[in-house]
């Protein structure tokens, strides 16, 4: 099972991925606990590289965690996400938010000063889908604009389970070892796949 539909069905989000995000946990993940480090680091990098008062497209921007502070910093932010709950949450943050998918952006070419893909590539495990998402981001970016992409490498689950002293549990170790070989993370208890 893949994270998003095939190229023939570009806007389909795998049911298990949608169910995971519809739980609403993603908003809190970056606002509390260890997730704050990711939030602060992303905020630091973006504040250093974005031009002032940029028109920013946050593709797969989730609940608007980053879009909200970007808008407060004076950027004009549009967010697109395939999860209805995320779009509703982001809209409450004072951000222009709509349903959509990284593989088919509903914007004219050369529209944005910066395009963020801080999450979509995790769920696009097919190379063709990743290339398509990057091509779409480039298409809607103005000439010379930044396209900023985040990924997770295949060793991230290993680091997490070593930090949590869980790596030597047989099932956890087997999942981690499979992830390191294939680059596809299959979290326990879910059919979802995350490309690393």
pLDDT at position 128, please?
A: 95
Residue with tokens 């769920």: 123
Higher model confidence: residue 80 or residue 2?
80
The helix, strand and coil proportions of the chain, stated in percent and rounded to the nearest 5, come to 45, 20, 35
pLDDT at position 179, please?
A: 83
CB 115 within 8 A of CB 140: yes
Query: Over 70: is that where the pLDDT of 108 sits?
Result: yes
pLDDT at position 57, please?
A: 98
pLDDT in tens, 41-79: 999 999 999 999 999 999 999 999 999 999 999 999 999
pLDDT band at 188 (very low <50, low <70, confident <90, very high): low
Domains of the chain: 7-149 (3.40.50.150), 156-195 (no CATH)
DSSP code string of 63-94: TSHHHHHHHHTT-EEEEEES-HHHHHHHHHTT
**Which two three-digit tokens encode residue 137?**
């981001």
Residues facing 101 on adjacent strands: 104
Residue with tokens 């298409």: 139
pLDDT in tens, 109-134: 999 999 999 999 888 878 899 999 99
d(CA 59, CA 80): 5
Which of 18-32, 83-97, 115-129, 173-187 is least confident?
Answer: 173-187
Residues facing 149 on adjacent strands: 117
pLDDT at position 196, please?
A: 47
Using alpha carbons only, what angle is made at residue 46 by residues 29 and 151, rounded to the nearest 5 degrees? 55
């Amino acid at each position: 099972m893949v994270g998003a539909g095939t190229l023939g069905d570009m806007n389909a989000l795998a049911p298990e991925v949608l169910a995971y995000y519809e739980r609403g946990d993603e908003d809190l993940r970056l606002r509390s606990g260890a997730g704050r480090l990711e939030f602060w680091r992303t905020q630091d990098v973006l504040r250093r590289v974005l031009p002032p008062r940029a028109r920013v497209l946050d593709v797969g921007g989730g609940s608007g965690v980053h879009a909200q502070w970007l808008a407060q910093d004076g950027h004009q932010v549009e967010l697109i996400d395939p999860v209805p709950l995320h779009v509703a949450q982001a809209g409450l943050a004072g951000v222009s938010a709509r349903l959509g998918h990284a593989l088919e952006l509903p914007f004219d070419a050369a529209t944005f000063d910066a395009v963020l893909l801080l999450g979509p590539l995790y769920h696009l495990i097919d190379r063709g889908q990743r290339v398509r998402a990057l091509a779409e981001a480039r298409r809607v970016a103005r000439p010379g604009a930044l396209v900023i992409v985040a990924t997770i490498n295949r060793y991230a689950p290993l680091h997490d389970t070593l930090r949590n002293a869980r790596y030597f549990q047989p099932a956890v170790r087997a999942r981690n070892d499979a992830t390191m070989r294939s680059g596809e993370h299959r979290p326990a208890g879910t059919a979802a796949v995350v490309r690393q």
